Structure 1
Amino acid sequence: MGRKQPQPEDITLQEFQDALGRYEALIGRVSDSKGAKAGQKTLAELDKYRYEEAVQIFGSGDPKRLMGIDEVKTLVEWKLRHGKFRPTLMKLVSSNDTTAVKDTIQEAVGLYKKTADTAAALNVLTKLKGIGPATASLLLAVHDPERVAFFADEAFYWLCSGGRKSPIKYNAKEYQALHEETQKLRDRLGVRAVDVERVTYVILNERGEESPARVEDSKSRAAEEPGAKTSKQPVAKRKKEPVEETKEAVTSARRSKRTKRSS
């Protein structure tokens, strides 16, 4: 008989710590089931980078170096393997100018350190191609694992949807709701945002040992992560692209037009 799913408002610290303790074994099993292509890192290896190596480099008050395009691409690869796979997202992210990536992240992190305003920092990060609110929250979360929550599906389902895998719009309003609920749990239990993220993954995936990416309904799939804007084009009969990717292209195209007019 499976474990009863605890709720955010009544989960105890012991239940939280127990779930956190099961995360590594769970991600190992999921990683083994997914495998990896030749030359590709396994999910377990990417997970170690996301939660250990990247946090050690960027997550202190005095980061060892600025985050650049290579680190962003590794984190995006983790995101795609850990959750929903979006086929064009990596291509969009990779198309960013390397200097622009460093400068934008430095600006966003600097703003966050001065103001503790996650929404303002995310607004800066989403100027980059392929970076919607969810991916932006991941980049910021690596810089402040104590307080900043990554906009993971599991976290939103458990904290904001009563555990139901309902459609997510991946917009700033939803992220703000997730951020606020994460802070409530942090304050009540005295835990870190990064650990809330992992615990929600365990709670929602332990039974099926698979990401909700494979079980969400068609409505949810059609609304995958707005924020990564794509250009509006005549709609031919083809699969809808995830909105985090598509919306980003729209914004990129508009920025390009504005640049041409002003030049």
Structure 2
Amino acid sequence: MELEFECSNVNKWKEALASYEARVESLNKPNLISLDDYYRKELPSLIHQRNPNPHINTTELSKLVRWKLTRGKWRPRLLDFVSSLDDSSVKSASEKAFKSLPDLTKAVSELTVLKGVGPATASAVLAAYAPGVAPFMSDEAMGAALGHSKDYSLRQYLLFADKLQAKAKVSDIFFFKCLCTFQFVVCLIVLHHLLLQLDLDIK
């Protein structure tokens, strides 16, 4: 199977979306399925239930970081930093960040004041609330959109987000809706990682 980021064939993206859950399961990583369901389904609902003052708490942030580390490189010290954060600080920072959208620079900056939260983790928090505005920054998604990079700076994140938005604008209405849904953003991010592990050819 070959799927390039520049592909504009809607059916191929539909197929990629349809295969998402099966490919997550095929990785056989402990707790990944439950953590992935939490991040894609439960957490966004919890955040939106708190309107007009959406936020997350320390427990939710810790679980988000556990999801991020489980699907990528495990860094227990990072999880320790996040788990030790004061709940009121996490609530305040996340509420300010969500209310700052669609200003990604300000939103990311509001979250990175928290110890253990860099631009990549901040983007995961924002994506849980507003995926059409703030995609999650990961190795796989960065590689697909910008080419392989170890630059996790705010500047690089803004370039990445612009690339995804541009992709949506040049495609038809279904693809635009697909790109601006949470599941597509996660699919784009994780699909490269999953397919590579399954020895499938993806660029």
TM-score, structure 1 normalization: 0.68
- Confirm or deny: 8 A CA contact 2:48 2:54 kept in the other structure: no
Q: Does the 8 A contact of 1:19 with 1:202 survive in 2? A: yes
Cα distance 1:200–1:11, how it changes in 2: closer, same or farther (>3 A)? Answer: farther
Q: CA deviation at 1:93?
A: 0.8
**Residue matched to 1:8:** 5
TM-aligned CA distance change 1:139 to 1:14, over 3 Å = same
Residue 43 of structure 2 aligns with an amino acid whose one-letter code is: A
Q: How many residues align?
A: 192
Which residue in 1 is equivalent to 2:43?
Answer: 54
Q: Distance in 1 between matches of 2:186 and 2:144?
A: 10
- Structure 1: distance between partners of 2:64 and 2:52: 17
CA shift, 1:157, in A, is: 0.4
Q: Secondary structure at the match of 2:89?
A: helix
Q: What are the within-5 Å matches in structure 2 for residues 1-263 of structure 1? A: 3-4=1-2, 6-30=3-27, 32=28, 34-35=29-30, 42-59=31-48, 62=51, 66-112=55-101, 116-161=102-147, 166-187=148-169, 188=171, 189-190=175-176, 191=178, 192=180, 194=182, 195-209=184-198
Contact 1:16 1:199 in 2 (8 A): no
Gaps in structure 2 of 5+ consecutive residues: none
1:62 offset after TM fit, Å?
2.9
| Kept after mapping to 1: 8 A contact 2:55/2:98 | no
Report the 3-state secondary structure (helix = DSSP H, G, I; strand = E; otherwise coil) of the residue aligned with 1:151: coil
For residue 241 of structure 1, what is the aligned residue in structure 2? none
TM-score (norm 2): 0.86
Q: What secondary structure, in the 3-state scheme, does the structure 2 residue paired with 1:88 have?
A: helix
Unaligned runs of 5+ in 1: 36-41, 211-263
Q: Structure 1 residues 187-196 or 20-29, which shifts more?
A: 187-196
Question: Residue 39 of structure 2 aligns to which amino acid in structure 1?
Answer: R
Residue type at the aligned position of 2:66: E
The structure carrying a bigger helix percent of its residues is 2
* Aligned residue type for 2:25: G
Contact 2:136 2:189 in 1 (8 A): no
Aligned partners of 2:47 and 2:55 also within 8 Å: yes
Q: CA–CA distance in 2 between the matches of 1:50 and 1:63?
A: 21
Structure showing greater relative contact order (alpha-carbon pairs closer than 8 Å, 6 or more residues apart):
2
Contact 1:59/1:145 (<8 A) preserved: no
